[in-house]
A and B are shown apart, each in its own frame.
Chain A
Amino acid sequence: MAGLKDGDNYKDGEFLKSPTLLKLICLAVGVGGLILFFGLRLAMPEKAGAMGYSWLFAVVFFLSLSIGGMFWTLLHHASNSGWGTVIRRLMENLGVMVLVCLVLGLPLLVPQLGFRDALWEWFPKRAAALEVAAEKAEEGKAAYVAEHNASLEKVTGELEKAKADFAAIDSPSPGHRAHFERSIGSLEAKVEELSSAEVTEEKAVKKLKDKFFLKEEALLYVKRAYLNENAWYLRFWCYFIALVGIAYTLKRWSVRQDSDPDPKWFRWMRRWSCGFLPFFATAWTFLVFDWLMALDYAWFSTMWGVYLFAGCALNSMGLLVIMVTVLRKAGYLKNVVTLEHYHLMGKLMHAFVIFWAYIAFSQYFLIWYANITEETKFYLTRNTEFWNTFTIMCLVVGHFFIPFVILLVRKVKMMPVVLSAIAVWNLLMHFCDIYWIIIPERGPSLSAAAGADIQMTIPGAWLFDLLAFISVAGIFGYFLLRQLGSASLFPCRDPRLDESLNVVN
């Protein structure tokens, strides 16, 4: 309480002096990596499938970090928080990186690159099934029409015969009359139904296509409303607009507030964040359904969205800790961010280490206990050979137990360098988590598609993973540094700045 900081002294903000050398290094690594990666893709067409998985992995890792940045910004506004105003600009900058990440994800959408069909088997399977169905429908259409006409003829004959029989009876008893009236009535209805459904060959083909599609790939037929090309592309652009729109709107309003004493921008951000949150959550949840859960179209988990989200929130908070520490070492935010902020960020990291483990375990536990074939598939793959050790060491021990125990200590959360080291460790584990989600599908999927014996891993493919990761990291780093320099490092005229500067917990 002694010596409260006055927000007015900070109203000019702090601007990052562009770290040109670092930016150039990032750009060189990124662009060099991109050229090498896509050059290799062209040079080795037979490796296209394996490289698709690498690219998806690299893009999703960085996308998840920026999604986490968006989440913290939205949550900060929606819950009307005051503690984190001084680091909110960093969250916003992380959030707008979603554009770069989604643009880097565009190669996955181009079928000619060979990534899409290797990653999501339902594309080629559906196409093949539809082709077979179309062929069979073409073959069977004449027979179908003939059959229809024959049955119409048959029913008409029956009707005429019944009418004649009825007329032949001189004085029908009430029972006879009732019997004939009923049968003539039902036959007339049948004739009407058959003749009104005028069967052309076109209609026959449509009907038969559905029938044969169901026979070929029953699962894809049942899921056809969701798993089809047009809907998939349409959904992607919806996610794109929602995520990029939200991130950029919040950043723009926040930056306007920096030079405008009118607090309306602050109010808008607060109000609109509550409205944005459902769209943000839906977009991310369905994006990971489409990109990650659909790696095996037969598998499903209702906890998938929240599982991915838990990792995002944890690791973007970790990245924020690292960013703040590096900026402070470079001489920025010195009087702005205090150990109290570190303590708060450390507590949130600890909370999300637990939350992640809680969700990950719940997902595993229910599937493990229920033991239903189509559900256990996912974990069976990840408990086979190399992946078994990987799961236990990285996810159980590394992702949960180690950070959980270390972060229990209060002092650790108030030591910037130690907390950053834990954040780096967490990011490494997040790397393993995303790797574990995507890559185990690669061996079985690709070997099955090639008709070979099932392999758990593709030898040497990890080099592509590393290359993809490094190139995306370079691009991500370059644009993040640019974003950091685009405005003050903290919202310098935010009405909550005083509160955040003097936060005590």
Chain B
Amino acid sequence: MSASSDNSKSLFGYVAEFPTASDLYHAAEKVHEAGFRRWDVHTPYPVHGMDHAMGLGKSWLSAGVLVGGTTGFLFALFLQFFTQVSLYPTVVQGKPTNLFTMPAFFPVTFELTILFSGFTILFGLLAVIMLPRWNHPLFTSKLFEKATDDGFLMVIEARDPKFKKEKTHDFLQEIGAGKIEEVAN
């Protein structure tokens, strides 16, 4: 027990290769069932339904985007009504300076809603995936290079509470992994 936990300190985790996308999909279901938390799959192309097999829930990003978009919407309206209607009423083309100036403010409102939503998506996504960073332990793995070529890979990290060096290795073999590589931290 103590040996394995000592080892796992210098160990980042396992990279396991599966022969086909379908095998990887079923393996992902089993890993999810086994209760692992810190793991991921890497494929050269998107596999439909993989998020479902991995038991991934809905990302909180969409809620963030709603908040971002609403902020942009309100900010644009405030900006325009405050400057063009209350602070310095500006008459353009004989249009009124009151609530019925609304159509003139719509393009800017529309744009700012989208801009703020876009920013929330970009920065929210960077926060979720913890980018940018200098390096990643997986980059030392030879096997991992296949993720952008023809490999269907699964990575289980050693910091997962369920991770046990030998047991997890056996488990990966049991669910159909071909080549398994240890990745150092």
A1 and B62 form a contact (CB under 8 A):
no
CB of B52 to closest CB in A, whole Å? 8
A365 to B49, CA, bound (A): 43
Quick check: A2 and B26 within 8 Å, CB to CB? yes
Alpha-carbon separation in the docked complex, A368 to B100 (Å)? 11
Q: Which 5 residue pairs across A and B have the least CB separation, nearest first?
A: A504-B48, A504-B49, A1-B25, A1-B49, A365-B103
- Distance, CA A410 to CA B47, complexed state (A): 21
A364 to B104, alpha carbons, bound, how many Å?
11
Across the interface, B94 reaches (CB within 8 A) one of A361, A371, A505, namely A371
Give complex CA distance A1, B104 in Å: 50
A372 to B152 alpha-carbon distance, docked (Å)? 64
Cβ–Cβ contact B48 & A364, under 8 A: no
Q: Which of A349-369 contact B (CB under 8 A)?
A: 361, 364-365, 368-369
Smallest Cβ distance from A489 to chain B, in angstroms?
25
Residues in chain A within 8 A of chain B (CB atoms): 1-2, 361, 364-365, 368-369, 371, 408, 410, 504-505
Interface residues of B in 36-93 (CB under 8 A from A): 47-49, 53, 58, 62, 66, 93
Pairwise interchain contact B49-A369, C-beta atoms closer than 8 A = no
Q: Which residues of B contact A2 (CB under 8 A)?
A: 25-26, 29
* Smallest Cβ-Cβ distance to B24: which chain A residue: A1
Q: Does B106 sit at the interface, judged by CB under 8 A?
A: yes
14 contacts between A and B (CB under 8 A): A1-B22, A1-B25, A1-B48, A1-B49, A1-B53, A2-B25, A2-B29, A361-B103, A361-B106, A365-B103, A369-B103, A369-B104, A371-B94, A410-B58
Residue of A nearest to B92 (CB): A369
Chain B residue, CB-CB nearest to A371 = B93
Which one of B25, B58, B66, B103 lies within 8 Å of A368 (CB-CB)? B103
> Which B residues lie at the A interface, using CB under 8 A?
22, 25-26, 29, 47-49, 53, 58, 62, 66, 93-95, 103-104, 106-107
**Chain A contacts for B48, CB-based, 8 A:** 1, 504-505
Task: Name the prevailing secondary structure of the B interface residues.
Answer: helix
Specify which of B62, B94, B95 is in contact with A410 (CB 8 Å cutoff).
B62
Q: Is the CB of A365 within 8 A of B94?
A: no
Establish whether residues A365 and B66, one from each chain, have CB atoms under 8 Å apart when the complex forms.
Answer: no
Task: Give every chain B residue within 8 A of A504 (Cβ-Cβ).
Answer: 48-49
Chain B residues with CB under 8 Å of A371's CB are 93-94
Q: Are A365 and B106 in contact, with the CB atoms below 8 A?
A: yes
In the complex, are the beta carbons of B93 and A369 less than 8 A apart? yes
Contacts of B62 in A (CB 8 A): 410
For residue A410, which residues in chain B have a CB less than 8 angstroms away from its CB? 58, 62
A408 contact set on B, CB distance < 8 A = 66
Distance to closest chain A CB from B55 (angstroms) = 14
Find out whether the CB atom of B103 lies under 8 angstroms from the CB atom of A364.
yes
Instruction: Kindly provide the distance from the CB of A359 to the nearest chain B CB, expressed in whole angstroms.
Output: 13
User: Nearest-CB distance from B22 to chain A (Å)?
Assistant: 6
What chain B residues lie within 8 Å of A361 (beta carbons)? 103, 106
Q: What's the least CB distance linking A366 to chain B, in Å?
A: 10
**A1, B53: Cα distance in complex, Å:** 9
Q: Please report the C-alpha to C-alpha distance between residue A100 and residue B49 in the assembled complex, in whole angstroms.
A: 43
Q: Which residue of B lies closest to A361 (CB)?
A: B106
What are the residues of chain A within 8 A of B58 when measuring CB–CB? 410
Which residues does chain B contribute within 8 Å of A505, judged by CB atoms? Answer: 48
Residues from chain A with Cβ under 8 Å of B104 in the complex:
369
The CA-CA distance from A2 to B28 in the complex, in Å, is 12
Tell me the bound Cα distance from A149 to B42 in angstroms: 95
How far is A408 from B22 in the complex, measured between Cα atoms in Å? 33
Contacts of B29 in A (CB 8 A): 2
Q: How far is the CB of B117 from chain A (nearest CB, A)?
A: 11
Q: In the complex, which residue of chain A has the Cβ closest to the Cβ of B50? A: A1
How many Å lie between the Cα of A410 and that of B53 in the bound state? Answer: 19
> A15 vs B26: C-alpha distance in the bound complex, in angstroms?
36
Inside 8 A of A365's CB, which chain B residues have their CB?
103, 106-107
Q: Report Cα–Cα, A368/B102, bound state, in Å.
A: 11
Bound-complex Cα distance A290 to B49 (A): 49
A361-B103, A369-B93 given; name 4 further pairs at CB < 8 Å. Answer: A2-B25, A364-B103, A368-B103, A371-B94
Chain A residues whose C-beta falls within 8 Å of the C-beta of B25 in the assembled complex: 1-2
- In angstroms, Cα B29 to Cα A2, docked, is 10
A105 to chain B, nearest CB (A): 34
